[in-house]
Amino acid sequence: MFFLCVSLSFTALEVECLSSDGQALLSLLSAADPYYKKSSPVLSSWNPSNPTPCSWQGITCSPQERVISLSIPDTFLNLSSLPSDLSSLSSLQLLNLSSTNISGSIPPSFGSLTQLRLLDLSSNSLSGPIPSELGKLTLLQFLFLNSNRLTGAIPQQLANLSSLQLGLLTNLTTFGAAATGLSGVIPPTFGNLINLQTLALYDTEVFGSIPSELGLCSELRNLYLHMNKLTGSIPPELGKLQKLTSMLLWGNSLSGSIPPELSNCSSLVVLDVSANDLSGEIPGDLGKLDVLEQLHLSDNALTGSIPWRLSNCTSLIALQLDKNQLSGPIPGQIGELKNLQSFFLWGNSVSGTIPPEFGNCTELYALDLSRNKLTGSIPEEVFGLKKLSKLLLLGNSLTGELPRSVARCQSLVRLRLGENQLSGQIPKEIGQLQNLVFLDLYMNHFSGGLPPEIGNISVLELLDVHNNYITGNIPSQLGALVNLEQLDLSRNSFTGEIPWSFGNFSYLNKLILNNNLLTGAIPKSIRNLQKITLLDLSFNSFSGPIPPEIGYLTSLTISLDLKANRFIGEIPETMSGLTQLQSLDLSSNLLYGRISVLSVLTSLTFLNVSCNNFSGPIPVTPFFHTLTMNSFVENPHLCQSLDGSTCSSRLMRRNGLKSAKTIALVAVILISVTMAVVATWIIVARNHKYVIEKSGMPSSSTEEDFSYPWTFIPFQKLNFSIENILNCLRDENVIGKGCSGVVYKAEMPNGELVAVKKLWRTKKDEEPIDSFAAEIQILGHIRHRNIVKLLGYCSNKSVKLLLYNFIPNGNLQQLLQNNRNLDWETRYKIAVGSAQGLAYLHHDCLPTILHRDVKCNNILLDSKYEAYLADFGLAKLMNSPNYQQAMSRVAGSYGYIAPGKCLLNFLITVFNQDCFPVIWFLTKYGYTVNITEKSDVYSYGVVLLEILSGRSAVEPQIGDGLHIVEWVKKKMGSFEPAVSVLDPKLQGLPDQLVQEMLQTLGIAMFCVNSSPAERPTMKEVVALLMEVKSPPEESGKTSQPLIKQSSNQS
């Protein structure tokens, strides 16, 4: 103990001997992470026994031994806040704490460091506003605050020349606050920063217009305002900045035309105004910028022709004009740009031929003229470019043959010529392109055989020649393409067998051979395709059994399509290993035996086994319950079963029911007799065999007819055509399949992503609710931030397409199943957004609209987890002429249908939630169910329970086979705490957040009340949810997950 006291006293004495600047620095050292303090070579040199800190690493002193520089970037301090003691370093001129893992706010006391020339706090986790006290730093030249979490507006004081209290910042040369949460407008007083050389305010929340006063910053070299929310026009006054070298304004919402005055910025090297809403023509005066190296004008609405005077920009390296509305020819003067390396013009309406003068651009490595209206042949001069790496000419009207001179361009990595009218044979010389990675020749008029020499391109990753007129056998030499990832030979006239060498494709993920004349068996070497995700062999003449080797392709996730071949035999047991497969089509073959092996494919969303000779019971699983009879038609010995293993001996006849008891029961049901009689029928039905009636099924649909005429009706201005849509309806673009149709991800020529839903065809002699007409009638005029926007629809005599905004982040069910760290804030945001969308349908639309299928699958999410209601396939106007018919149909999805005093729920209860025979019976015999807004409310309540619990409405882990509502009620009625209902990942949070979740749980139980009259309206639900959130300052204490809630529900 004595030794410890002496040591402590000695240490205190040492610190007292240290200069005041050194003691201020020790406050930084004492707050640093203890572990890194010892291991850091910088911090370990800070010895308190030194009389001054001048020998410490990162410290520079003046001759008077005052600290003038503290620079320790990339040193892991792990500070929860910046010590205010640092403000006592009154001689400090340079403070660099970038990338040191500091959180907290910027101390206002830093405003007293009046000698500072450079302040760099970038790349930390600082939050809160920028203190206005920094306006006192009159000598500051460099201010770097970028890559933090700062919020609030930019202080006017930073540039207020008239503020005597805060002083001046006229010496500031660099202001960087990029990649922060700063908001507000750019202060016009920034024009007073006469020495400012760099203004970096990119990737923030800054909005408003660009102040014209920035034109007064005559020393400005770099103007970085990209990735903000700026609006208005580009000020012509910026043309006064003759020293400006970089102007980056991309990624805003700027409108109007490009000011010709920018041509006065004679020092400009980079001009990037892409990804805005600019219109008008490209000013020809920009050709005066003779030192300009990069001109980026893409993704705007620019019109007119390409000015030939741009050829005067002889220093130009990159010219990007893509995704505009430019027209006219490409000027031949483009060949005068000898330094040009990249030229992007795709997604315009440029016409005429490709200028052979491109051959003079000897530095060119990327040329993209896709999605225009170019005609004529590909000039051979292009293939003389020794540095050309990427040549993309997709989606034009180019004709003629692909010249053999293509082999001269040995630098080619990507050659994409699809969607043209090129003809003749594919030249064998193409096999000499040893650097080629992508070869796209699809949708042309190529004929003859596929050159075996292509097998020499050892680095090739994509080969796509679909939709041509290619004949002959598939060359076995293609098996040498060991790096191939995608091979599409579909829609040609290939004959013969699949080469055994295809087993060498160890990296292949998509093999598409459909619509050819291929024969023989599938080679067993296919087992080696261990990365395959999509295999399409449909519409050929393959024969023999399905090889068991297919069952070992466990990477198959997207689709396995074997339809319309001559496969014979049973489904191999090994196919039970395809547990990740989403789509399986075995229709129109000669297969027989049972389909029970398919019951374990739990990831399936689409299945078709129609037009075979299968027999035995249809598996009893939730997925099989969702399938329509179209999936099983033309299998006369398939039957419906209650237990999935046996069928009743009393089969249904084709034109009636064999059982007289069942006929009598139907009559009883139709006149709505007592539930006791219904129960008697159910007892009989438990032992009754449901066999798919051939005469009662829609006939097997043939391949869709995409012929003209087409009707294309947009609900807003669209910059693409029906041809653009049809070109995207390819298997590799499928992103989902459901009971209403198949959904494609389609990229339009202007770069816009669209979700295209192709509806399944229905029987011609059946008149169900027309889901297509219902969606068009309702969705075409709906505009709400939480409802997927319908852009338009297309139809011909047999195909119906709905065009939606593409929502990129999947659906709520996927998020709940896959995201292990989904926090309460995100869940609450999704809950409120989906409720607001549903409330809009119920209360703000005239007449009222019902969703009728609210479930997690139909709540889509964008990259910021904003919720969007989707899939209105059963929606119907409540007071439309067909209201009674619409409301009389079974609607909703299993697990989300509200309980009520009706036959539907009684049957589901007696059948232990086995809905398939129930839905079959109700649909066939016209039983009616009343659907109201309160049905949607109940379904939303189920969704809310799923959000809170992380469980699905119906899933194996819910104990005793209970539906989630019953499971929650059982939990609430027991002695378990209410928080036991919550997702375990949400437990242990601060008390206030737990109370918010429990309050939301109460709202959910309010929604799933068994009595529709007792349920709230969606407008009330939104109001209740908005009341849940409390101010942030009230959520500080930590909770133990032991909160008990009464079992009585309001």
Percent of the chain with pLDDT over 90: 46
Is the pLDDT at 266 greater than 90? The verdict is yes
Is the pLDDT at 250 greater than 50? The verdict is yes
Comparing C-alpha atoms, which of 521, 522, 530, 519 is closest to residue 552?
A: 530
Tell which wins on pLDDT, 1041 or 849: 849
Tell which wins on pLDDT, 183 or 691: 183
The Cα 806–Cα 744 span in angstroms is 10
Is the pLDDT at 745 greater than 80? The verdict is yes
Q: What are phi and psi of 968, to 5 degrees?
A: -65, -45
- Other Cβ atoms less than 10 A from the Cβ of 910: the count is 18
Comparing C-alpha atoms, which of 41, 89, 24, 29 is closest to residue 62?
A: 89
- Chain centre to alpha carbon of residue 109: 44
Comparing C-alpha atoms, which of 308, 342, 306 is closest to residue 327?
A: 306
* pLDDT band at residue 1045 using 50, 70 and 90 as cut-offs: very low
Q: What are phi and psi of 20, to 5 degrees?
A: -65, -35
Q: Which of 313-317, 640-644, 779-783 has the lowest mean pLDDT?
A: 640-644
Q: What is the pLDDT of residues 633-655, one digit of tens each?
A: 999 889 887 665 677 443 333 33
Q: Return the pLDDT at 959.
A: 47
* pLDDT band at residue 31 using 50, 70 and 90 as cut-offs: confident
The average pLDDT across 99-112 equals 88
The average pLDDT across 371-375 equals 95
Q: Return the pLDDT at 468.
A: 95
Is the pLDDT at 324 greater than 50? The verdict is yes
Q: Which of 236-250, 464-478, 574-588, 674-688 has the lowest mean pLDDT?
A: 674-688
120-134, 200-214, 532-546: range with highest mean pLDDT:
532-546
Tell which wins on pLDDT, 161 or 177: 177
The average pLDDT across 658-682 equals 39
Q: Return the pLDDT at 182.
A: 65
The average pLDDT across 216-223 equals 91
Q: What is the mean pLDDT of the chain?
A: 80
Q: What are phi and psi of 143, to 5 degrees?
A: -130, 110
Tokens standing for residue 1028: 């849940």
Q: Return the pLDDT at 1048.
A: 35
The average pLDDT across 473-491 equals 96
Percent of the chain with pLDDT over 70: 78
Q: Return the pLDDT at 702.
A: 42
524 is in an annotated binding site: no
The average pLDDT across 92-104 equals 90
- Chain centre to alpha carbon of residue 411: 34
Q: Return the pLDDT at 382.
A: 96
Question: Which stretch of DSSP H or E encloses residue 935?
Answer: helix 933-949
Comparing C-alpha atoms, which of 636, 648, 629 is closest to residue 686?
A: 648
Q: Return the pLDDT at 893.
A: 67
Enumerate domains of the chain plus CATH numbers: 497-647 (3.80.10.10), 810-1050 (1.10.510.10)
Q: What are phi and psi of 996, to 5 degrees?
A: -60, -45
Is the pLDDT at 416 greater than 70? The verdict is yes
Is 853 a known active-site residue?
A: yes
Q: What are phi and psi of 318, to 5 degrees?
A: -125, 125
The Cα 464–Cα 438 span in angstroms is 9
* pLDDT band at residue 366 using 50, 70 and 90 as cut-offs: very high
Tell which wins on pLDDT, 98 or 149: 98
Is the pLDDT at 47 greater than 80? The verdict is yes
pTM of the model: 0.58
Type of residue found at 469: Y
Q: What is the pLDDT of residues 279-314, one digit of tens each?
A: 999 999 999 999 999 999 999 999 999 999 999 999
Burial letters 318-349, b for 16+ CB under 10 A, else e: bbbbbbbebbeebbebbbbbeebbbbbbbbbe
Tell which wins on pLDDT, 568 or 910: 568
Helix, strand or coil, per DSSP, at residue 748? coil
Beta bridge partners, 637, equal 615
Q: Return the pLDDT at 194.
A: 80
Q: Return the pLDDT at 122.
A: 86
Question: Which stretch of DSSP H or E encloses residue 722?
Answer: helix 722-727
β-pairing verdict for 149-153 and 753-759: unpaired
Is the pLDDT at 622 greater than 60? The verdict is yes
Q: Return the pLDDT at 156.
A: 66
The average pLDDT across 952-971 equals 71
* pLDDT band at residue 531 using 50, 70 and 90 as cut-offs: very high
The Cα 299–Cα 385 span in angstroms is 28
Q: Return the pLDDT at 917.
A: 41
Q: Measured between alpha carbons, how far is residue 919 from residues 460, 685, 734, 857 in Å?
A: 51, 13, 28, 20
Is the pLDDT at 936 greater than 80? The verdict is yes
Q: Return the pLDDT at 892.
A: 59
Query: Which sign, positive or negative, has the C-alpha torsion 822, 825, 826, 832?
Result: positive
Helix, strand or coil, per DSSP, at residue 674? coil
Q: Which long-range contacts (CB under 8 A, 24 or more apart) does 659-663 make?
A: 659/684, 659/688, 662/688
Q: Return the pLDDT at 1032.
A: 42
Catalytic residue among 120, 853, 871, 936: 853
